[in-house]
Amino acid sequence: MGTVLQKEVFTMPEVHICPQCFSDDIERVPRQHAVDHMKGLFGWRVYHCRDCGARFHDRPAERKAS
């Protein structure tokens, strides 16, 4: 018999987590570089960690329907 693979469903996180220190004290910051603008075309945004100062790209967080 064949193996049945289950499809994983990916959902966006409700909060952003810093990839350096794993803090959730994150703010969105303006695009500054060409890479920021290129990634922006594909839905990526620039964020900044208030705890460690890391700057990183991530997709927008999912918002719960009210």
What is the CA angle 42-43-45, rounded to 5?
120
CA nearest to 27, candidates 64, 63, 65, 58:
58
How crowded is residue 46: how many other Cβ atoms within 10 Å of its Cβ?
Answer: 20
Paired with 58 in beta bridges are 45
pLDDT of residue 53: 95
Enter the pTM of the model: 0.68
What are the boundaries of each domain within the chain?
26-58
Rounded average pLDDT per 10-residue block, the chain, 66 residues: 55 77 94 93 94 92 58
pLDDT value of residue 19? 94
Structure confidence at residue 60 (pLDDT) = 79
